[in-house]
Every structure is written in structure tokens, then in C-alpha cells.
Amino acid sequence: MRPRLEYSGRGLCLDSFAVLLLSQVLSQASGTLARRSRASATLVPQAPVHNTLPQTLSRRKEVQRMQRPEIHSLEIGPREVQALFFSNPNGQACQDLRAWLLLDCRTPEEHATASIAGATLIPMQEIPQRVAELEAWRTQPIVVHCHHGMRSLQVVQWLRKQGFAQAQSMSGGIDAWSKEIDPSVGQY
């Protein structure tokens, strides 16, 4: 039996996509490749496959986890930062500060006005010249924050290009931290 899927120019519908994906998984599980023509997406499994889909998917996920580094989103919320990096609800830093880095990319004047305990200050303009100071955290989580989250997002994008795959920007910046987590941190 050959499922025939047609491309209408507007994209495949969800059901067609699901059939296409399932057919490809079944085809790969049976040890054969599916043949596709340019005009239509015709899939031809070469041998019947019985009850191998769950094992194949779980093995594939396991292999993918081993082959690819963990992908982190560009942004992380203040509550997630608190849950991941702080040991208690009032925002005091956990004991092992070497396991992660909270990086403040604001100016020294902004940092003096309001700061998060345990944050390291490296202004955005100085990060390219001081990137060597961050080498110890190349494979560790780095959360960058600024005032509202725009500059830190730019810093994270630059750090990722430099190979810091776990760098993330704290969405909303120190302003969101002050509103959601620790009101004792000043707002400006």
C-alpha cells in the first residue's frame, strides 16, 4: 500500500505531514529508504514493520541526546533563574558559585544603583576584550542580565557565536527581577 501525499503549493496539511513523518520512521525502521519523486511525495516501505516504532523512537532520541549538545533557549525568566541558581526564595546566592555565572552587562553606574547578589559585572562594551575571563564558564550555564533584557540578549547572541552554548538572557532584566523576585533590589 502506498500513501500518496500531494503538495498543493500552500504546504502540507497536518495530517499529511504526520503520515509523511510516520512513513519515514517506519521506512527507516525496516532498514530501507523511502523513494520520493519530485512531483509528489510517494513513500514505499520495502518490508512490513511490526511493533518497532516505540523502540525505534526511544533509541533515536537516546542517540540524538548523545550526539547533540543540549540546546538552551536564548531567554530565561527571573523565576527560572531563581529556581536554578538560588538556594532560597529570598534571592540569596547558592553556595557553589563556580557552577554557574550570573553576568551583569550594564554600566558600572547602573550596577551601583541596583544589583543582584552574586552577579559579576562586565559591561557590554568590554565583553569582547574580556572574553578570556569567561573561559571557565564555556561549558557552564551563564545567565546575562541588563536593565530590561535587550542588551543582555545581544550579549547572549554574541557569546553563543563564540561557543558559549549555555548562555541565556534573563528576560525583563533586573527590572523584572526586582518586581517578581526581590523587591529590595532598587528600580530605576
Q: Which residues pair with 120 in a beta bridge?
A: 103
Q: Is residue 159 part of a domain?
A: yes
Tell me the pLDDT tens digit for each residue of 164-187.
999 999 999 999 999 999 999 989
In a domain, 23, yes or no: yes
CATH number for the domain that contains residue 141: 3.40.250.10
pLDDT at 72 over 90: no
Say if 187 falls within a structural domain: no
- 176 vs 87 pLDDT, higher one: 176
Claim to verify: residue 108 and residue 147 sit in the same structural domain: yes
Task: Decide if 107 is inside a domain.
Answer: yes
80 lies in the same domain as 172: yes
Q: Is residue 115 part of a domain?
A: yes
Residue pair 30/49 in contact (Cβ under 8 Å)? The answer is yes
Contacts of range 33-39, beta carbons closer than 8 Å, 24 or more positions apart = none
Q: At what angle do helices 53-67 and 14-29 cross, to 10 degrees?
A: 90
- Note whether 159 and 79 are same-domain residues: yes
- Sign of the CA dihedral with 137 first, then 143, 145, and 148 last: positive
Q: C-alpha cell of 24?
A: 519515514
Give the number of domains in the chain. 2
Q: Which of 163, 166, 170, 169 is nearest to 185 (CA)?
A: 170
Based on the domain organization, do 56 and 81 belong to the same domain? no
Residue ending a domain, choose from 47, 67, 87: 67
Q: Alpha-carbon distance 178 to 65, whole Å?
A: 36
User: Are 62 and 79 members of one domain?
Assistant: no
Give the domain range for residue 22. Answer: 4-67
Query: Which residue, 14, 37, 67, sits at the end of a domain?
Result: 67
In a domain, 188, yes or no: no
What confidence tens digit (pLDDT) does each residue in 13-51 have?
Answer: 444 545 555 556 555 545 443 344 344 444 444 444 444
Residue 7's pLDDT band, with cuts at 50, 70 and 90, is: very low
Last residue within a domain, chosen from 67, 96, 117: 67
Determine the average pLDDT of the residues in 76-80: 94
Same structural domain for residues 59 and 13? yes
Lowest mean pLDDT among 27-36, 56-65, 80-89, 100-109: 27-36
Alpha helices, H only, the chain: 14-29, 53-67, 78-85, 108-113, 150-161, 173-180
Count how many residues are written for the chain.
188
Is 162 in the same domain as 100? yes
Q: Decide if 104 is inside a domain.
A: yes
One domain, residues 46 and 85: no
**Residue 121 phi/psi, 5° resolution?**
-90, 120
> Which residues are bridge partners to 75 per DSSP?
169
134, 106: one domain: yes
